[in-house]
Structure 1
Amino acid sequence: MSHSDSSSSSRWRRLPQSARRHLLQAFGAAAGAAALGTWPLARAQSSGAAREPLRVGYQKSASLFVLQKAQGSLEKKLAPLGVGVKWIEFPAGPQLLEGLNVGSVDIGHVGEAPPIFAQAAGADFVYIGHDPAAPEAEAIVVPQGSAIRSVAELNGRKVALNKGSNVHYLLVRALEKAGLKYADIQPVFLPPADARAAFEKGAVDAWAIWDPFLAAVEKQTGARVLVDGRNGVANNYLFYLAERKFVQKNGDVIQALFADSQEQGRWLKADLKRAAAIIAPLQGLDPEIVELALRRYNFNVTPLSEQVAAQQQQIADVFHELKLIPKPIRVADALPAVRVAQKQP
């Protein structure tokens, strides 16, 4: 068992019995459906009715979706189902989930924290899958010439981050492991582009950020990493989320999306240089920066396990304790009643 799996198991055991019961009930239903083979198939396919295009919310930093868009691979995978694809770009996960909540997208791909903030705000979505942990793909950095050498030295300092993004939890956990509280630093909430400008001008002392922005600031400015998600700080899972009613009616579309994501993910990792050359101009970055970021991510979407869902519950509980979200939430409420059957490569 890996350190990550061991930590997740420990967190699972620490959950209240009621929370574990709700999660197990949700996964019991999922396992039963998976035994039958698939998610419910859309009725429109058999009736001959025209089907709406799949509206995919993505971020320019989400390299796999950027690759799929550039290759047109998802369009090819969905063509036999009579389904097109509409790609809708968002600057970050929180904004993407706002789009999902108001009905402008069907499916999105975000980090750990955005779904928790969105669920606390009343958004109605479900987790349909996740990519493997990528703890190296997010970090807290300081300028090359900074005198700060440890997370403990962030006491009283300004730290830039995108509020509600995956690095929000990284920051909380890193401070905790360094003996600091979240209240001991001055969070400065900025989207990545504005945070990069503030970081370079010295308006903030540190920046909590994810790839490929992380790789870019390392390569272009010599920024130093104080800490990343490794060593039990934060697993950094990436989640596939969907509008609840869409999931109930479009199981075949979700299966096709998963199959294409797995295929493109394997191709990407097998030929990083070629993948980086395709993605780089679309992200406005040099290929070597994109390649560095790609090395730190893993791509192999699977349905949520009990342990991953339990970790999400722990993050939600931490955010509520810190009053970052206004009320406690149950991650189990955002789990689908069924899950997609995985085809082995």
Structure 2
Amino acid sequence: MRTNTLRRGLVALFAAAISFGAITQAQAQPQADHVLRIGYQKYGTLVLLKARGTLEKRLAEQGFTVQWTEFPGGPQLLEGLNVGSIDFGVTGETPPVFAQAAGADLLYVAHEPPAPSGEAILLPKDSPIRSLAELKGKKIALNKGSNVHYLLVRALQSAGLSYTDIQPIYLPPADARAAFERGSVDAWVIWDPFQAAAEQQLQARTLRDGQGLVSNHQFYLAARPFAERNPVVLGVLVEEIRDIGEWVEDNVDEATAQVAPLLGLPSEITRKAVIRQGYGARPITPEVVRAQQAIADTFTALKLIPRQLVIESVVWTPPKRIAQHAE
């Protein structure tokens, strides 16, 4: 009974968006043919790309303008993509799995290299918990359907625990941090820069990060209709993302100086998050598809999504000339 409730709750986050989109479709403003609407989160390569302005200059040559919308997390961003308010965005590994399960018409466009240390299970500094096995029966805060959801599942499995052995408390990052500080939860599963901030400001202790458990890829995703109509635009976009990622790798201090004020965080916290991220957007490979399929299969086996998924069926295949240029 509890498993069914969990499954319904997890998929509802995305299914509600689908229903909302159907209800409001008649009221929606028609999208301009030459606008690229990008969803981004508070931290990541897209933040720097937005600040740099080079994408806008290149796409102006294609007759496109760019609009940016910030989202608090991957699940919310994919809601926006599903209801048609954005065309492109970036999330962690798990949100697109739940979105696909709920019927979102999305495509995987590119991915970043693994960044397993950029997410972790955190404990209050004075917590008596010393092992994953001690999480049994404990309240654990996480953003439902986010990348850290899979980290938590894998970490529990590694300790011989099942997902039903803990009490998940589904909260977005800001609310989860407040609950963590109050002591209302026993642990918090979170990603950077929230992870780095909690480590520095709250002296939160890392029980387990993703190393050896998950890849923690970042995925760039597009609405299928937009991708099919505008492959050249997506090709330019991926090039720009890759270029700025390579710049960050070679200019960590300068990137930190740019990102810190955008996040409202001190430089030492921001730098830690910058270093732990993966950079260099690249095409989706068969190996990445297999890894993502394993995530989908895990959640299917747990009955947290209602049906078997085929990840390969939602991978963007660019025209040959664009694919060759991206390699």
- TM class by shorter chain equals 0.7 to 0.9
Q: Go from structure 1 to structure 2 and tell me whether the alpha carbon gap of 1:178 and 1:342 turns closer, same or farther (over 3 Å shift).
A: farther
The one-character-per-residue Cα deviations of 1:221-279 (angstroms, maximum 9, x if unpaired) are: 11011111112x01101101001111111111111111111111111121111111111
Q: Normalization by structure 1: what TM-score?
A: 0.83
CA distance in 1, matches of 2:139, 2:65: 45
- Aligned pair count? 294
Note the C-alpha offset of 1:70.
Answer: 1.3
Which of 41, 46, 52 is 1:59 aligned to? 41
Give yes or no for contact 1:135–1:228 (8 Å, CA) kept in 2. yes
| Structure 2 equivalent of residue 245 of structure 1 | 225
Q: Partner amino acid for 1:245?
A: P
Deviations 1:66-103 (A, max 9, x none): 11111212112222212111001111101111111111
Q: Secondary structure at the match of 1:304?
A: coil
Q: Which amino acid aligns with 2:256?
A: A
Select the residue among 296, 308, 324 that pairs with 1:328.
308
2:82 is equivalent to residue 137 of structure 1: no
> Where does residue 206 of structure 1 map in the other structure?
187
Cα drift, residue 342 of structure 1? 5.1
Cα offsets for 1:98-139 (capped at 9, x unmatched): 111111111110000000000010100111111111101011
Q: Say yes or no: does 1:265 pair with 2:245.
A: yes
**8 Å CA contact 1:51, 1:82 repeated in 2:** no
- Once the two structures are superposed, residues 283-307 of structure 1 have per-residue CA deviations (whole angstroms, 9 ceiling, x without a partner) of 1211211110010111111111111
Q: What is the distance in 1 between the residues matched to 2:239 and 2:307? A: 36
> Given residue 132 of structure 2, which amino acid in structure 1 is its aligned partner?
V
Whether the 8 Å CA contact 2:235–2:326 is kept in 1: the answer is no
Of 96, 110, 126 in structure 1, the residue corresponding to residue 77 of structure 2 is: 96
Q: Does 1:110 pair with 2:91?
A: yes
Secondary structure of 1:75's counterpart equals helix
Provide the rounded CA distance (Å) in 2 between the counterparts of 1:203 and 1:309.
38
Q: Secondary structure at the match of 2:323?
A: coil
**Does residue 283 of structure 1 match 2:255?**
no
Q: Relative to 1, partners in 2 of residues 1:205 and 1:342: Cα closer, same or farther, differing over 3 Å?
A: farther
Q: What is the CA–CA distance in structure 2 between the aligned matches of 1:183 and 1:51, rounded to whole Å? A: 47
- Which residue matches 1:185? 166
Opposite residue 116 of structure 1, the aligned amino acid is V
Q: 3-state DSSP class of the match of 1:279? A: helix
For 2:326 and 2:88, locate their aligned partners in 1 and report how far apart those are by CA, in whole Å.
23
1:218 paired with 2:199, answer yes
What SS does structure 2 have at the residue aligned with 1:81? coil
Do the aligned partners of 2:93 and 2:146 also contact (CA within 8 Å) in 1?
Answer: yes
What percent of counterpart residues are identical?
Answer: 54
Q: Distance in 2 between matches of 1:76 and 1:144?
A: 47
Asked if the contact 2:283/2:326 (under 8 Å) is kept, the reply is no
**Of 149, 154, 158, which aligns to 2:130?**
149
Matches of 2:326 and 2:220, distance apart in 1: 19
Q: Check conservation: 1:302, 1:342, Cα contact below 8 A.
A: no
SS at match of 2:104: coil
Matches within 5 A, 1:220-239: 220-231=201-212, 233-239=213-219
Please tell me the residue identity of whatever aligns with 2:214: A
Instruction: Indicate how the Cα distance of structure 1 residues 236 and 278 shifts in structure 2: closer, same or farther if over 3 A, else same.
Output: same
User: Over the residues paired in the alignment, what is the CA RMSD in angstroms?
Assistant: 1.4
Name the SS for the 1:167 alignment partner: helix
Aligned partners of 2:313 and 2:244: how far apart in 1? 31
Q: Find the counterpart in structure 2 of residue 297 from structure 1.
A: 277
- Superposition deviation, residue 213 in structure 1: 0.6
Q: Does the residue aligned with 1:56 lie in a helix, a strand or coil?
A: strand
TM-score between both structures, scaled by the size of structure 2: 0.87
Runs of 4+ residues deviating >2 angstroms: 336-340, 342-345
**Unmatched 5+ residue regions in structure 1?**
1-49
Say if 2:50 is the partner of 1:79: no
8 Å CA contact 1:77–1:260 kept in 2: the answer is no
Aligned to 1:37: none
Q: Write the letter of the residue equivalent to 2:262.
A: L
Q: Whole-Å Cα distance in 2 between the matches of residues 301 and 336 of structure 1?
A: 14
Q: Point out where structure 2 has 5 or more consecutive residues left out of the alignment.
A: 1-31
Shift in Å, 1:165 = 0.2
